[in-house]
Amino acid sequence: MKITQRPFGKTKNGEDTTLYTITNNNGMKISVTDFGANIVSIIVPDREGDFADVVLGYENIQGYENNRVGFGSLIGRYANRIAGASFVLNGKVYKLQKNEGENTLHSGEPGYHKVMYETDIFEEEDMISVEFSRLSPDNEQGFPGNLDITVTYSLTEDNELIIEYHAVSDKDTMVNMTNHSYFNLSGHNSGNILDHKVWIKSNKFTPTNDKLIPTGELWDVEGTPMDFRTLKRIGDNIDDDYKPLIQAGGYDHNYVLDNNRDEISKVAELVDEVSGRVMEVFTDKPGLQFYTSNMLTSVENGKDGAVYGIRAGVCFETQHFPNACNTKNFPSSVLKAGQDYEYVTIYKFSTR
C-alpha cells in the first residue's frame, strides 16, 4: 500500500489545500482533501478489471468551496433536517440558521465540509489512514459546546473504505455526523442510477411532512415502494403515486436500520449489474438516509468535464434520525459533556 499527496489549490482565503491519495495492492484508490474532509474520488475495478471513479465530485478546490450539493462531504455538527431551526437542551432553546425554509438542513454555515482540517497519517501493513481533526467552537452554527472532532478515512487491502467518526464536547450538545458521497457504480459521469439495485436491512422508515421533516411515526415498508428488503432496482418504484415519494421527488428517506448498535454490521448493498461492481455498507448507526439525488440539477463543473443531473448518484448517509433532537421517541442524538461520540461506517467494494 502507499499514500501520496499533492497540492489541491488555494482557497479564496489563501489557504493551501492538499489532496491525499491512498492506493492498495489491488489498485483501488481513494482521494481525500484537508479542505472540508471531503472524499474527492473512489476508484475501483469492474468485473473485467477496468477502473472507474464511482463518486461524483469536482476537479479542484474551487468546486468544493461552492459544493452546495455536498459531494463527498463530511456533514456536521448535525446532519439532515432540524424542524424550526431550533431545539431545546437542558431547558434552553438553541436557535440555528434557517437555510431550508423555516428549517435547518445539514447545520448551515460554516459547513463542516467547507473548513480546513489538521491532518495525521497512519500507515499499517494492510491499511493506511488519513485523520482530519478540528475544534468546532462553542456556538458555531448555533450549537453549544467546544466540540473536538476527528474523521478518519482508511483504505484496507479488502477494498474497504472505513470512516471513523469521533467527537468530544465540553458541554452537553447535539451531534449527528455523516458522509454525503454520491455513488454511481457505473462511473461518476455515466448517467443516472435508476438501473442500480439496492438492498436495505430495514423494516420501517420515518415518514415526513411536505418539508421533509419526520412526523415522529415509524411506518412499515411492507407492501410499499419503500421496501428494499430484497434486492430491487432503484427505478422500479421511484415514480410511483405514493405520498412519501411525491413529497421528496423520489427517495430521500431515513430508514430505521435493523441492526445491533453495539456492533458494526451490514445494513445495505448497491449493485450495478452492467459493470459488476458491488458496494456493501456497514455501520453501527441507527439510521440510513437513502437519497437518489432528486434535487441535483445541472452541476456543470464536475470531474472530467461531467455535467451531473437529477438521479446521477445515490447517497447512503448513516446517521441518527432527522430531527431526533426534537423527537423524544427517536434514538437520542444528545452528546453529554465529556462523553465520546464514536461511530463507524464502512463502504466495501467488490465485483460479481
Residue range 274-298, pLDDT digits in tens: 999 999 999 999 999 999 999 998 8
- Is the model's pLDDT at 300 over the cut of 90? no
* Start-to-end Cα distance in the chain: 24
In the structure, what pLDDT confidence band is assigned to residue 262 with cuts at 50, 70 and 90? confident
Does a cis peptide bond (omega within 30 degrees of 0) precede residue 229?
Answer: no
Active site residue 253: no
What percent of the chain shows pLDDT beyond 70? 100
- Cα 83-253-318 angle, rounded to 5 deg: 90
Residues 197, 199: Cα–Cα separation, whole Å:
7
Tens-place pLDDT, residues 305-345: 999 999 999 999 999 999 999 999 999 999 999 999 999 99
Mean pLDDT for the chain overall: 97
What percent of the chain shows pLDDT beyond 90? 98
Residues 43, 136: Cα–Cα separation, whole Å:
31
Question: What pLDDT is recorded for position 159?
Answer: 98
Query: What is this structure's pTM?
Result: 0.97
Which is catalytic among the residues 131, 160, 269, 317?
Answer: 317
How many residues in the chain? 352
Q: What are the distances in angstroms from CA 89 to CA 145, 158, 174, 182, 328? A: 12, 42, 9, 33, 12
Tens-place pLDDT, residues 109-118: 999 999 999 9
- Is the model's pLDDT at 260 over the cut of 90? no
Alpha helices for the chain (secondary structure H): 61-66, 243-248
Tens-place pLDDT, residues 154-213: 999 999 999 999 999 999 999 999 999 999 999 999 999 999 999 999 999 999 999 999
Would you give the DSSP letter of residue 259?
S
What is the CATH number assigned to the segment(s) 2-351? 2.70.98.10
Q: Where are the domains of the chain?
A: 2-351
The arithmetic mean of pLDDT across residues 262-271, rounded, is: 96
Which is catalytic among the residues 113, 180, 188, 253?
Answer: 180
Instruction: Look at phi and psi of residue 179 and say left if phi exceeds 0, alpha if psi is from -120 to 50, else beta.
Output: beta
- Cβ neighbours of residue 293 closer than 8 Å, sequence gap 6 or more: 69, 182, 193, 308, 310, 311, 312, 313, 314, 315
The arithmetic mean of pLDDT across residues 74-81, rounded, is: 98
Active site residue 196: no
Instruction: Assess contact for 167 and 177: CB atoms under 8 A.
Output: yes
The arithmetic mean of pLDDT across residues 29-41, rounded, is: 98
Question: What pLDDT is recorded for position 261?
Answer: 79
Residues 255, 221: Cα–Cα separation, whole Å:
9
The arithmetic mean of pLDDT across residues 12-36, rounded, is: 98
Tens-place pLDDT, residues 208-249: 999 999 999 999 999 999 999 999 999 999 999 999 999 999
SS3 state at 235? helix
